[in-house]
């Protein structure tokens, strides 16, 4: 007897189930990559822009097998990816008209759209995939295009479909499709239907592609931290400040966007290189410095500040790929994480810095130390990483539920996907091009109080977003942190110094 149910593509992997469960719990909605596309108006000629975009999206979907599936069983211990026989592109592509052309006002409009998208879950995943393309286009009634058309295309996606790097790869595929369109016979533009005639096999998950190893000491310590009864564990001498306790309500995401123009972005990278460091550890320490100065004494006294750095594991996949997963082209979730704790004594040092001392010395000392720490972690992989122990948790939905009402253990995370290289995707001078990518995430109900996401484009802008769950951290505090990052990084690019005032910020 034939089943009318969906056809299973494969079971959700261990790290992927971390995302499917928190989506099911309403703890995390999506990741987003926004690319700014430009095209000479003459290239479009009499073509309909909507049809051009829809065709390129269809071509892109057929290039990535994971975009052809839905998810079933998120509320169970055994979720699965399922093949979808057809996709209604009218539900996967949404248009937003922008009634302004100034850079600041366009960014403000983008910020508002991203906040809404990051606050919404993906409905009906059994029949509709968990992603969406949002096209932010100038209103032609107000701004008729006479030279170059510039649009922002947001690709927002369920984290179970891919990691941060996947968003960059998707935008690169989309740019290639715009510059090199090929026939898509299974696309019906009149009904906006893309038929999946021959489903492509999904590459295996991370736990099947990477051979993790764990030492006995790491295993026992991790299992004790996770499963030992609380009355047997001593209270931490210095708890972390991480905003309000874990609660799913309200689930709205707040977002702030910082954009640095190409000359500033290039100068920041060059200045970091001259200091023998990179942007990621510097951002961590600048966030530490800002919070240490801005948080009131009662909130920060005798507390630590903790941070996390997601680390891509794609470099552990052999060149050319493994079992159908190409690290340079395939979407997927390939991540580890490094955690770091800044002690209460370090925070007191920052608060006391000033007077006759150079207040920047401690920043660079901490940046160098954290940078070396990150290098050691990267060099150690795939040994002794917590992702190797995910199989020990049999029910992630239950695991998340146990966290409700508890204090967060993580103050912030910095996720940096680096500078995207869009060369080789077409004629950059006469075709479509990309000069900016914005990486952003939903407010993280079960983990960090706020997230910082970083993306750049080779030779283009650098974008930094701060996101947090509404009411978990005061908006005023993170507005101040964002202002500090903007001021310090801009000053650093211009002068090589961060511009701290003695005794102040």
- Alpha carbon distance 394, 427 (integer Å): 50
Is the pLDDT at 338 greater than 90? The verdict is: yes
> Which residue's structure tokens are 């190797």?
388
Q: Is the domain of 45 the same as that of 84?
A: yes
**Mean pLDDT, rounded, of the chain:** 92
Residue 345 lies in a domain: yes
Bridge partners (DSSP) of residue 311 are 336
* pLDDT of residue 359 exceeding 80: no
- b vs e for 435-465, b when ≥16 Cβ sit within 10 Å of the residue's Cβ? bbbbbbbbbbbbbbbbbbbbbbbeebbbbbb
Q: What is the C-alpha end-to-end distance of the chain, expressed in Å?
A: 71
Instruction: Outline where 295-341 has alpha helix (H).
Output: 297-300
How high is the pLDDT of residue 100? Answer: 80
Do 222 and 183 share a structural domain?
A: no
Q: Are residues 184 and 224 in the same domain?
A: no
312 and 370 fall within a common domain:
yes
**Backbone torsion region of residue 470, taken as left when φ is above 0, otherwise alpha when ψ lies between -120 and 50, otherwise beta:** beta
Query: Same domain, yes or no, for 122 and 37?
Result: yes
31: tokens are 């990741």
341 in any annotated domain: yes
CATH assignment at residue 126? 3.30.559.10
Do 176 and 303 lie in a common domain? Answer: no
pLDDT tens digits, one per residue of 440-492: 999 999 999 999 999 999 999 999 999 999 999 999 999 999 999 999 999 99
Cis? peptide before 154, omega within 30° of 0: no
Asked whether residue 439 carries a pLDDT value surpassing 60, the answer given is yes
For the chain, how many structural domains are there in total?
A: 2
Q: CA–CA separation, 132 vs 114, rounded Å?
A: 12
Specify if 489 maps to a domain: yes
The stretch 323-347 carries a mean pLDDT of 96
User: Are 118 and 159 contacting, i.e. CB atoms less than 8 angstroms apart?
Assistant: no
Q: Is 389 within a domain? A: yes
Q: What are the distances in angstroms from CA 329 to CA 15, 23, 28, 37, 503?
A: 20, 25, 25, 20, 49
- Residue range of the domain that includes 480: 209-417+433-495
Tell me whether residue 160 is exposed, middle or buried, using C-beta atoms within 10 angstroms of its C-beta: 0 to 12, 13 to 18, 19 or more.
buried
Same domain, yes or no: 149 and 12: yes
155 and 15 fall within a common domain: yes
In a domain, 278, yes or no: yes
Cα 336 from Cα 329, distance rounded (Å): 19
Q: What is the pLDDT of residues 216-269, one digit of tens each?
A: 887 877 776 766 555 445 566 688 999 999 999 888 999 999 999 999 999 999
pLDDT digits (tens, 9 = 90+) for 32-49: 999 999 999 888 888 999
* C-alpha–C-alpha distance, residues 408 and 77, integer Å: 24
Whether residues 267 and 365 share a domain: the answer is: yes
Q: Percentage helix, strand, coil, to 5, in the chain?
A: 40, 25, 40
- 424 assigned to some structural domain: no
Q: Which of 158, 188, 218 is the last residue of a domain?
A: 188
CATH number, position 216: 3.30.559.30
> According to the model, what pLDDT value does residue 222 have?
75
H helices, E strands: number in the chain: 15, 17
Q: Are residues 297 and 338 in the same domain?
A: yes
Given this model, what pLDDT does residue 251 score? 83
Task: Give all strands of the β-sheet with 450-457 in edge-to-edge order.
Answer: 253-260, 462-469, 450-457, 412-420, 305-312, 335-342
**pTM of the predicted model as reported, rounded to 2 decimal places:** 0.95
CA–CA distance, 338 with 287 (Å, rounded to integer): 17
CA distance 349 to 343: 10
Share of the chain above pLDDT 70, in %: 93
At residue 160 the predicted structure's pLDDT band, cuts being 50, 70 and 90, is: very high
The torsion angle over the Cα atoms of residues 177, 182, 186 and 191, rounded to 10 degrees, is 70
Phi/psi class of residue 45: alpha, beta or left (left: φ > 0; alpha: ψ in -120 to 50)? left
Cα separation, 78 vs 444, whole angstroms: 23
Q: Where are the beta strands (DSSP E) in 231-388?
A: 253-260, 305-312, 335-342
The verdict on residue 410 lying in a domain is yes
Mean pLDDT of 424-447: 89
Indicate whether 191 pLDDT > 50: yes
Average confidence (pLDDT) over 349-358: 73
- How confident is residue 2, by pLDDT bands cut at 50, 70 and 90? very low
Contact between 11 and 160 (Cβ < 8 Å): no
pLDDT tens per residue, range 258-272:
999 999 999 999 999
Listing DSSP states for 164-183 in one string gives HHHHHHHHHHHHHHHHS---
> Tokens in use for 478?
């993170």
Contact indicator for 61, 67 with CB cutoff of 8 Å: yes
Residues 6+ apart with CB under 8 A from 41: 145, 146, 147, 148, 149
Q: Is the separation of the CB atoms in 326 and 260 below 8 Å?
A: no
Choosing from 153, 188, 223, the residue where a domain stops is 188
Please give the pLDDT value at position 357.
62
Domain boundary residue among 155, 188, 221? 188
User: Of 77, 160, 158, which is closest to residue 397 (Cα–Cα)?
Assistant: 77
| Residue 503 confidence class, pLDDT cut points 50, 70, 90 | very low
Confidence of residue 102 (pLDDT cuts 50, 70, 90): confident
The DSSP secondary-structure symbol of 500 reads P
> Hey, is 159 helix, strand or coil?
helix
Residue 1, pLDDT score: 39
Co-location of 251 and 173 in the same domain: no
Q: Is residue 446 part of a domain?
A: yes
Whether residues 146 and 223 fall in one domain: no
């Amino acid at each position: 007897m034939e089943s009318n149910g969906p056809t299973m593509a494969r079971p959700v992997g261990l790290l992927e189930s971390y995302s499917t469960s928190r989506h099911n719990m309403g703890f995390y909605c999506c990741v987003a990559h926004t690319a700014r596309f430009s095209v000479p108006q003459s290239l479009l000629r009499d073509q309909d822009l909507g049809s051009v975009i829809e065709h390129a999206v269809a071509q892109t979907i057929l290039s990535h097998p994971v975009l052809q599936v839905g998810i079933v069983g998120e509320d169970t211990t055994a979720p699965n990816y399922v093949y979808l026989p057809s996709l209604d592109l009218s539900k996967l592509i949404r248009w937003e008209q922008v009634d302004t052309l100034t850079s600041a006002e366009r960014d403000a409009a983008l910020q508002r759209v991203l906040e809404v998208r990051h606050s919404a879950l993906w409905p009906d995943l059994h029949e509709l995939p968990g992603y969406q393309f949002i096209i932010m286009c100038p209103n032609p009634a107000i701004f008729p295009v006479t030279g170059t058309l510039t649009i922002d295309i947001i690709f927002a996606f369920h984290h179970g479909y891919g990691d941060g790097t996947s968003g960059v790869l998707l935008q690169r595929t989309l740019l290639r499709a715009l510059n090199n369109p090929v026939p898509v016979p299974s696309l019906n533009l009149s009904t906006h239907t893309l038929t999946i005639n021959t489903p492509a096999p999904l590459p295996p998950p991370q736990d099947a592609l990477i051979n993790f190893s764990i030492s006995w000491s790491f295993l026992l310590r991790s299992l004790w931290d996770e499963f030992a009864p609380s009355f047997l564990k001593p209270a931490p001498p210095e708890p972390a400040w991480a905003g309000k306790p874990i609660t799913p309500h309200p689930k709205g995401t707040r977002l702030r966007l910082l954009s640095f123009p190409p000359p500033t972005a290039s100068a920041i990278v060059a200045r970091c290189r001259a200091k023998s460091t990179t942007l990621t550890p510097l951002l961590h320490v600048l966030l530490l410095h800002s919070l240490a100065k801005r948080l009131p004494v009662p909130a920060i006294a005798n507390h630590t500040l903790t941070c996390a750095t997601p680390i891509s594991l794609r470099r552990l996949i052999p060149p050319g790929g493994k079992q159908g997963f190409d690290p340079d082209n395939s979407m997927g979730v390939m991540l580890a994480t490094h955690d770091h704790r800044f002690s209460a004594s370090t925070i007191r040092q920052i608060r006391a810095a000033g007077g006759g001392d150079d207040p920047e010395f401690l920043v660079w000392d901490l940046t160098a130390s954290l940078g070396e720490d990150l290098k050691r972690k990267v060099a150690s992989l795939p040994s002794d990483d917590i992702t190797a122990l995910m199989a020990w948790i049999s029910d992630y939905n239950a695991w998340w539920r146990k966290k409700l009402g508890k204090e967060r253990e993580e103050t912030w995370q910095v996720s940096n996907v680096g500078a995207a290289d869009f060369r080789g995707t077409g004629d950059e001078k006469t075709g479509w091009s990309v000069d900016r990518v914005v990486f952003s995430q939903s407010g993280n109900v079960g983990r960090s109080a706020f997230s910082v996401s970083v993306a750049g484009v080779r030779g283009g802008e650098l974008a930094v977003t701060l996101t947090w769950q509404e009411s978990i951290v005061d908006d005023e505090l993170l507005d101040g942190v964002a202002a500090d990052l903007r001021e310090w990084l801009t000053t650093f690019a211009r002068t090589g110094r961060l511009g701290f005032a003695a005794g102040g910020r």
